[in-house]
Structure 1
């Protein structure tokens, strides 16, 4: 569509910026590359299929609008909603707001569907807990060594070993991490104490389906809202257990008894400045 449009106008294409991430987010690699090239005046026009591909976010849309105005760059959308060559720039915010509201309504519908599926016991996570596999929305214990890794972690903790000590042993023996087993693209090759703790506190291992621990705050915000325990969606005795309920509850009691109150961390250079790109939480050291 772009090539045909450009050919008809007798123009030339500098580059094509391709991405599949949602237009509600500003931290998109190709969008940032496009903005950087625009500021360096590598081209004099931006074309998009529709404004929603550039921004489904009111704030972001105004940032893009101001950027192109400052750098004397035009924007044309193939749906004819925006065409700054013809002076059509006033509807920028209106269309972006409409697209943002549409995205929010879609998000709300998906959340409602997720809640219904979770209440029916269908696993909707992207990655199952270590030791399980997903088939048709149901959790099944894997027929390999992974369930034994989970059992070993619980057993070692009950024997008095801490999170970091367990993680070190797993690393020393070259045991693959959960993200490596799941085949994640950016998988960590090292076990961490925090990852061991996540496994030790995962109620799914006793056969209960536990979901809805967090939710997105808004379609335009990356950070998540973490729910209270009484708000979790729990389906008891849903699937085959890897850890007995008695063993799991004993571990939870031990975790509470070993918990040490740490002093409040000091304010440092990156306080309220550096945030995790995945979960949105503030970084600390």
Structure 2
């Protein structure tokens, strides 16, 4: 069978240093030969395989930021070339850059192309060769790919086995089990070391560990990098410094909160005064956001950020594990200028604008989600008012914005009044004359169960209420 041109199977984007098969007419590098043997020798043609296997090389690198793609590809390819020397030649090259080893092969771009090439009715390769086990596999990935290769009669070569893998051999099975465990251990050790170092840098050194600076701060130079090697390369540390344009607004928010104002009123005041929200004040670092106004969540997040006290934090959403590196980190000393004192920050977290219920019980809303507005077609919000459950619709109005003249009047519905009306419409004879409830009046939970079972919703407006089912015409 005639082989198609090899360049059809070579991955061309992005380009990597080309590697051509050895040729009997290729010139010999005399200097390289002297460096290897210590003395010059007569040029001789390199050995050329005759009838060898057709290999597809596969390699991978995790990141492009901390690893050089060309270098990583180079040493992995060198290992593969040395492994198959005299046994065949590599005619296809597949290399995944910026792909985690945890990603399954079918989800890796280049690995998926390799698998598609092999599943072709007339595959152009006889075997897959990798430069290092850990670069290609982790966990149970090897057993899955090995079984897949066996079904397609493709060999899988590893440097660790010095040739094709044969799980029928006991020593190969033991070696692959050891490599799988070692690969997992490498990931866990690297993760633990990185997290432990970052935890220490945040707590003991108060170092800024990256990310977008909080609203009210900007990045400032903090001197050369403490690692001498990084310092020689010109790397420098950064720290948080108050932003003269936004820091006063953060201080004002904490003062308002300590005065008893609600988060909604703070956000509404900021919008009314035209104060730029975080995504508007720093659009370059917030390209994923298009909200141009203050929201309740934005104000709440700012008021709950302990970095405004001047102490650095990291991993605030800890996993709760017993491992110290997985817990939230707080610097032991001030790392940057504070915008609020620690005493005021803690007091702001304990401030409530709304009064708690006098009886301490949880409020129950039996008809929640069953009442729709006949004006704007929204579901009514559950609202506790004057010690009883009520429902309201503000027709899209938000607490962070002032009311407009064109907005319809807010709709308020008392649950007990609504229960009486629904009972009459459902034919429940539990009321007496003059709309006075009887002693054995229908319970709200019973009405809610009947509505949900029949797929019925309550449509309310200022004129009254009506019942509608989902499949009613």
The answer to whether the superposition gives a TM-score over 0.5 is: yes
Q: Is 1:59–2:59 an aligned residue pair?
A: no
Q: Which residue of 2 aligns with 1:208?
A: 311
Write the distance in 2 (CA, Å) between the matches of 1:21 and 1:33: 10
Q: Which runs of 5+ in 2 are unaligned?
A: 1-73, 223-236, 365-473
Give yes or no for contact 1:19–1:30 (8 Å, CA) kept in 2.
Answer: no
Give the greater-gyration-radius structure (CA): 2
* Equivalenced residues, count: 247
Q: Is 1:140–2:140 an aligned residue pair?
A: no
Q: Which residue of 2 aligns with 1:129?
A: 214
**SS of match in other structure, 2:199:** helix
Q: Which runs of 5+ in 1 are unaligned?
A: 219-224, 264-285
Relative distance call for 1:96 and 1:189 in structure 2 (3 A) is: farther
* 1:68-217 matches, cutoff 5 A: 68-77=149-158, 80-82=159-161, 85=164, 87=166, 90=173, 91-127=175-211, 128-130=213-215, 131-133=217-219, 135-136=221-222, 137=237, 139-148=239-248, 150-151=250-251, 154=254, 159-162=261-264, 169=271, 175-177=277-279, 183=285, 187-190=288-291, 193-214=296-317
Relative distance call for 1:123 and 1:176 in structure 2 (3 A) is: same
Give yes or no for contact 1:58–1:100 (8 Å, CA) kept in 2.
Answer: yes
Bigger drift between 234-243 and 61-70 goes to: 61-70
Q: Is 1:242–2:334 an aligned residue pair?
A: no
Relative distance call for 1:21 and 1:35 in structure 2 (3 A) is: closer
**SS of match in other structure, 1:198:** helix
Give yes or no for contact 2:203–2:329 (8 Å, CA) kept in 1.
Answer: no
Relative distance call for 1:182 and 1:97 in structure 2 (3 A) is: farther
Write the distance in 2 (CA, Å) between the matches of 1:28 and 1:247: 53
Give yes or no for contact 1:204–1:210 (8 Å, CA) kept in 2.
Answer: yes
Q: Which residue of 2 aligns with 1:252?
A: 349
Q: Which residue of 2 aligns with 1:38?
A: 115
Write the distance in 1 (CA, Å) between the matches of 2:349 and 2:85: 66
Write the distance in 2 (CA, Å) between the matches of 1:28 and 1:152: 53
Give yes or no for contact 1:132–1:141 (8 Å, CA) kept in 2.
Answer: yes
Q: Which residue of 2 aligns with 1:48?
A: 130
Query: How far is 1:206 from its partner?
Result: 1.2
Q: What TM-score do you get using the length of structure 2 for normalisation?
A: 0.41
Write the distance in 1 (CA, Å) between the matches of 2:151 and 2:190: 34
1:246-267 CA distance string (max 9 Å, x none): 542342113696899799xxxx
Query: How far is 1:165 from its partner?
Result: 5.0
Relative distance call for 1:63 and 1:27 in structure 2 (3 A) is: closer
Structure having greater relative contact order (Cα 8 Å, sep ≥ 6): 1
Query: How far is 1:84 from its partner?
Result: 6.5
Higher strand fraction (1 or 2): 2
Query: How far is 1:96 from its partner?
Result: 2.2
Q: Which residue of 2 aligns with 1:267?
A: none
Relative distance call for 1:164 and 1:142 in structure 2 (3 A) is: closer
Relative distance call for 1:164 and 1:235 in structure 2 (3 A) is: same
Query: How far is 1:11 from its partner?
Result: 3.9
Write the distance in 1 (CA, Å) between the matches of 2:192 and 2:290: 36
Write the distance in 2 (CA, Å) between the matches of 1:253 and 1:235: 23
1:7-38 CA distance string (max 9 Å, x none): 9834421x533223442x32799626524751
Q: Is 1:233–2:330 an aligned residue pair?
A: yes
**SS of match in other structure, 1:162:** helix
Write the distance in 1 (CA, Å) between the matches of 2:157 and 2:193: 31
